[in-house]
A and B are shown apart, each in its own frame.
Chain A
Amino acid sequence: MGIFDRYHFDNFAYSMTRGRLTSGVDYANEVWRILSQGFADTVYMVFFSALFAVFIGLIIGVALNVTGPAGICEQRLTNRILGFIVNTGRSIPFVIVIIAVFPLSRFIVGTSIGRTAAIVPLTIAAIPFVARVVEAALAELGGGIVEAATSTGASPLQIIFRVLLPEAAPGLVLGVTLTVINLISFSAMAGLIGGGGLGFTAHRWGLQEFRTDILVYTIIILVILVQVIQITGQAISRKLDKR
């Protein structure tokens, strides 16, 4: 794990400099390095966990829709089982997911700490959320357009890829936006358990080392990050929405 190694090296570098610098250019450089490291870690964790969670959650959400009542592949039992799994997933607090998933992380990415390892619990926690968001976005479409497609002889797969997903695109983009924002706050928690990222930075430097300035900076960065993502997501969604 090359990335992970670099993380360790940086952590080592942190501890070497801790407490020695308090002002001047070097100090500013150090703050910059700490914050940019935290920022990079957050982006890394959120990006990959969102990527995997959206991919898997999309599949489950579509499955929930098509197997649901009046869906194109209506299957009660499958729908119930899927719904049950998703609800169970959503009802487990994230902190518990992190702890419970440690062994799994070790199995999947070879380690249970570090920012790469944190992707596993983040992804797992986000999947049920994405699934429900996707299901809701698809449910909004109503049955008429699906029926129209069916009447032209479209197969279930064609309906999914040429009707459901394109028509629900604006809603799906908003759902992804919401997911990413949730993942940012979750990633702060994951960071506490050795993942890195801005949450880790705030805790490690802002709280444990009483570097209030770093604490404030992390908050400012997070606020800006969330705003940018929210505004971008809404803009894309609006652009896609021709209704």
Chain B
Amino acid sequence: MLSIRNLSKTFGNNKNRFKALDNVSVDVLDGEIFGFVGLSGAGKTSLARCVATLEKADNGEIFLDGVDLIKLKGRKLRLKRRKMGFVFQHFHLLMNSTVYDNIAFPLIISKTPKAEIRKRVDELLELVGLTDKASSYPSKLSGGQKQRVGIARALANKPELLICDEATSALDPDTTKSILQLIKKINEQTGVTVIVITHEMEVIKSLCTRAAIMEDGVIIELGKVLDIITNPQTDTAQRFFTKEHLPEIIRLTESLAGNEVLVKAIFIGDKVHKPFISDIIRGFDIEVSILSGGIEPVGNATIGDLVLKMSGYENAIISAIGYCKENGVGIEVLKGGDVNGHI
């Protein structure tokens, strides 16, 4: 297990100090894919680099299997680094070495016998689907292929922890998808713990079971991805999950009548068994129109996300919203009323 305790990191000199991480604590469980998400400058990379011991934290502890990484030095530290694989946004491959040699690099560093290196590299080439590119140089590869090499290299020494810092941020959407699938496959096949760092909610949604949202060097929200999505506690979290077209809808309904409210309903597919929309229409004497909506997979579940316009008497709307909440549908009033639907 990876256990981060009260981690702080300050950059800069005495005159110009910047606190990139402020008292961060989080546990990452064995075998899970844990996500850190946040806007640019939130401190995600700083955190990843501290964990990978590429950066020295000022304060705090980072326990990997009970050993505090911050206290390690010299050879002991280097041995521990072999137990962690780091995947970089910009790949950082050896440009004068072939794909094969790039993947073999960590094994050469750990003085693995030659025959074993060959076997392991072949395995990894197969895993990331680059067997036919073994003798190519990185300059001849596409971004996605380069990242596959980066991932294979990070896995070479069979690490316990794989840290992916914006591993897909330099890639196009299709390639991103295939790399995410690869990371998921690796996690399932090898059971390696994965830390995924990203500013894209989509990455978190498709990979992680748990995640932390970071802002200004602090974790502002932490928990199951499903919970964070259906019940965000902070504005930042909400903004991450709010669809880009929402402002558009809100603008379109500027002409909202006095007896109308605009709400967002979020629900987890398998947890909501009742057809709540027809229920509230029938049960509360209101009209409901769906302005936008979608259902998307998050991990093993599906999340429904609807924008509804409810019109009717204030009391009926309040009751309808109450009914939804009781039945596990998260309701957020976007326009026309307060949190409970009071107009």
Interface string of B90-120 (1 = CB under 8 A from A): 1011111100000001101110000000000
- B147 CB → nearest A CB, Å: 13
Given contacts A150-B54, A151-B86, A154-B78, contact A162 B92 (CB under 8 A): no
Whether a CB of chain A sits under 8 angstroms from the CB of B82 is yes
* A145–B153 alpha-carbon span in the complex (Å): 12
* A167–B105 alpha-carbon span in the complex (Å): 13
Interface string of A132-168 (1 = CB under 8 A from B): 0000000000001101111111110010001100110
- B203 CB → nearest A CB, Å: 21
Whether a CB of chain A sits under 8 angstroms from the CB of B137 is yes
Size bracket, chain A contacts: 20 to 34
* A155–B111 alpha-carbon span in the complex (Å): 12
Interface string of B265-302 (1 = CB under 8 A from A): 00000000000000000000000000000000000000
Contacts of A59 in B (CB 8 A): none
Whether a CB of chain A sits under 8 angstroms from the CB of B198 is no
Given contacts A151-B84, A152-B109, A154-B78, contact A166 B157 (CB under 8 A): no
Binds B, one of A15-23, A82-90, A235-243: A235-243
- B100 CB → nearest A CB, Å: 13
B110 close to A153 (CB less than 8 A): yes
- A18 CB → nearest B CB, Å: 54
Residues of chain A from 192 to 243 with CB closer than 8 A to chain B in the complex: 240-243
Whether a CB of chain B sits under 8 angstroms from the CB of A169 is yes
* A217–B6 alpha-carbon span in the complex (Å): 76
B residues with a Cβ closer than 8 A to A are: 52, 54, 75, 78-82, 84-86, 88, 90, 92-97, 105-106, 108-110, 137-139, 153-154, 156-157
Contacts of A242 in B (CB 8 A): 95-97, 137-139
Beyond A151-B85, A162-B105, 14 additional pairs, beta carbon < 8 A: A147-B92, A148-B86, A148-B88, A149-B105, A151-B86, A151-B154, A152-B105, A153-B80, A163-B94, A166-B96, A167-B94, A169-B96, A243-B95, A243-B139
Contacts of A145 in B (CB 8 A): 92-95
- B128 CB → nearest A CB, Å: 16
* A149–B92 alpha-carbon span in the complex (Å): 9
Contacts of B84 in A (CB 8 A): 151
Partner of A152, one of B75, B93, B96, B153: B153
Most interface-central of A149, A170, A242 (chain B CB within 10 A): A242
- B33 CB → nearest A CB, Å: 19
- A16 CB → nearest B CB, Å: 55
B97 close to A166 (CB less than 8 A): yes
- B82 CB → nearest A CB, Å: 4
Contacts of A241 in B (CB 8 A): 96
Contacts of B154 in A (CB 8 A): 151
* A150–B75 alpha-carbon span in the complex (Å): 12
B94 close to A153 (CB less than 8 A): no
Contacts of B137 in A (CB 8 A): 242
B54 close to A144 (CB less than 8 A): no
A243 close to B110 (CB less than 8 A): no
Q: In the complex, which residue of chain A has the Cβ closest to the Cβ of B84?
A: A151
Contacts of A170 in B (CB 8 A): 96
B106 close to A152 (CB less than 8 A): yes
* A148–B54 alpha-carbon span in the complex (Å): 9
Interface string of A163-201 (1 = CB under 8 A from B): 100110110000000000000000000000000000000
Q: List 6 interface pairs A-B (beta carbons < 8 Å), by A numbering.
A: A147-B54, A147-B88, A151-B84, A152-B109, A153-B80, A242-B96
- B115 CB → nearest A CB, Å: 20
* A149–B75 alpha-carbon span in the complex (Å): 15
B86 close to A162 (CB less than 8 A): no
Contacts of A154 in B (CB 8 A): 78, 109
B78 close to A153 (CB less than 8 A): yes
For the complex of A and B, list the 4 residue pairs with the smallest distance between their C-beta atoms, beginning with the closest: A152-B106, A144-B92, A153-B81, A148-B92
* A150–B80 alpha-carbon span in the complex (Å): 11
Most interface-central of A149, A152, A163, A243 (chain B CB within 10 A): A152
Q: In the complex, which residue of chain B has the Cβ closest to the Cβ of A241?
A: B96
* A172–B296 alpha-carbon span in the complex (Å): 54
* A109–B95 alpha-carbon span in the complex (Å): 43
Q: In the complex, which residue of chain B has the Cβ closest to the Cβ of A243?
A: B95
Given contacts A150-B54, A242-B139, contact A155 B78 (CB under 8 A): yes
A152 close to B92 (CB less than 8 A): no
Q: In the complex, which residue of chain B has the Cβ closest to the Cβ of A154?
A: B109
A153 close to B106 (CB less than 8 A): yes
Q: In the complex, which residue of chain A has the Cβ closest to the Cβ of B111?
A: A158
